[in-house]
Structure 1
Amino acid sequence: MNFVTVLFYILAIVLVVAAARVVTARSPVTAVLHLILTFFTASMLWMLLGAEFLSLLLVIVYVGAVLVMFLFVVMMLDIRMEDLRAGFKAYLPLGLVIAAIMVLEMAFVLGTTWSAAGPQAARPDDYNNTLALGEAMYTDYIFAVQVGGVILLVGMVAAIALTLRKRTDVKRTDPSKQVRVRAKDRVRMANIQVPKDSGPAGQSAQGEAK
């Protein structure tokens, strides 16, 4: 047993324990932190398998952006666990059925892969999986990549459109009007004649004179 095999088993144990803590943790913040550890450990396993590009992509996109955003959202929402557990028993049978179906599907796929897997394909010493992945994406699967980009763009526009609200109680600044403004439109000099016998000072002066 070499060092790579020992490291694989260590990372696999950490991955399983962290994934279990995501489900069993009482605090949502603790669950998100264990989910970050799960993704990071999975990326290390991908690194051991030679998929460096996918490993770094998992760390940068999911761990560095998505899960950090989830963590801040969960911390700011102040979720009450009592409200989340209110209907736990009602949805438990359906959840167990769905979990069993997912386990059977994964077992079928992994069993088929292990039983029908042949020897590893021969690769040259200067093989670059990032280059091979890029060539496959933008040559053989260019249409699928473009469709995925359009779907993501539509989702982003739909999210903005759904959350956009036209508010009337907010003052908005028009830069074009500010640029075209003239001094005489903003400032007006007025010469106001104030009578000497009006006002508190004039009345007090008249009272003294009497």
Structure 2
Amino acid sequence: MIVQALAFYVFAFIVMASGAMVVVSRNPVYSVLFLILAFFNAAALFVLIGAEFIAMILVIVYVGAVAVLFLFVVMMLDINITQLREGFLKYLPVGALIGVVLLAEILLALGVLGSHESPVAVLSQAGPQVLPIDNTRAIGRVLYTQYFYLFQVAGLVLLVAMIGAIVLTLRTRPGVRRQRVSEQLYRPKEEAVTVVKVPTRGGV
């Protein structure tokens, strides 16, 4: 228990410090790197509570796709840092209000505000007692039995969205030369190779 508690405090401290550095860092690339560090430590916290499937999804989706995409976009775009800082004071009251609301919700969920007993603990006690089964297997059983058709429909929706995004962004512009692999592969030999007969001891 001491090792688990120590690991929890270490991972939680790194998550909080990384989240603060995401906001405070002046370099956007450093902000994305701190965001990736926060995702990794949040995944470690999920592993500590036995939600290894959520931890794996957090690493694969957020770190492997979203955060890396943010990093490439930030590195490729020419971001004007001075222009971004101009609106900081303008949106500071709204951001502070949202932060206060989120803090109040977290304290209410932990039982610090209102009742002395945590609502999360009450919900966990009121839940049905299930058999000891790992998190990934339980989600897989529910997903591929009860929600199998909805899962397939969600996959089709994502496929249609991907095809639509490709069709909308694939535009033919006049004057732009594009590589056509099929024409290169099936062109005749006469168009690709020119045979020149050079006499002996002569030049081309």
Question: 1:157 and 1:101 mapped to 2: Cα distance?
Answer: 39
1:71 is aligned to 2:71:
yes
Alignment partner, residue 27 of structure 2? 27
The runs of 5 or more residues in structure 1 that have no matched partner are 190-210
| 2:129 is the counterpart of 1:117 | no
Counterpart code for 1:74: V
Secondary structure of the residue aligned to 1:140 is: coil
Matching of residue 179 in structure 1 with residue 190 in structure 2? no
Aligned match of 2:140 in 134, 143, 148? 134
Give me the whole-angstrom Cα distance separating, in 2, the residues matched to 1:183 and 1:102: 72
Higher CA-based Rg: 1
SS in 2 for 1:85: helix
TM-score between the two structures when normalised by the length of structure 1: 0.73
Q: Note the residue ranges of structure 2 that are not aligned, 5 or more in a row.
A: 112-118, 197-204
**Paired residues for 1:132-171 under 5 Å:** 132-171=138-177
Shift of residue 177, structure 1, vs aligned partner? 8.1
Q: State the shift of 1:68 in Å.
A: 1.8
Letter in 1 for 2:124: A
Please give the per-residue CA displacement for 1:80-131, whole angstroms capped at 9, x wherever unaligned. Answer: 211111222222222223333333444444542134431894644xx33222
**Which residue of the partner structure matches residue 99 of structure 1?**
99
Q: 1:162 to 1:101 in 2, by over 3 A?
A: farther
- C-alpha distance in 2 between matches for 1:119 and 1:6: 29
Alpha-carbon distance in structure 1 between the residues aligned to 2:157 and 2:138:
25
Distance 1:15 1:69 in 2: 21
1:56 deviation in Å? 2.1
The list of structure 1 runs, each at least 4 consecutive aligned residues, that deviate by more than 6 angstroms after superposition, is none
User: CA, structure 1 residues 10+141, in 2 after alignment: closer, same or farther (shift >3 Å)?
Assistant: same
Q: Partner letter of residue 48 of structure 1?
A: L
C-alpha separation in 2, matches of 1:6 and 1:109: 23
TM-score, normalising length: structure 2: 0.75
C-alpha deviation, 1:160, in angstroms: 2.2
Tell me how many residue pairs correspond in the alignment: 187
- What is the alpha-carbon distance in structure 2 between the residues aligned to residue 140 and residue 31 of structure 1? 41
User: 3-state SS of the aligned residue for 2:145?
Assistant: helix
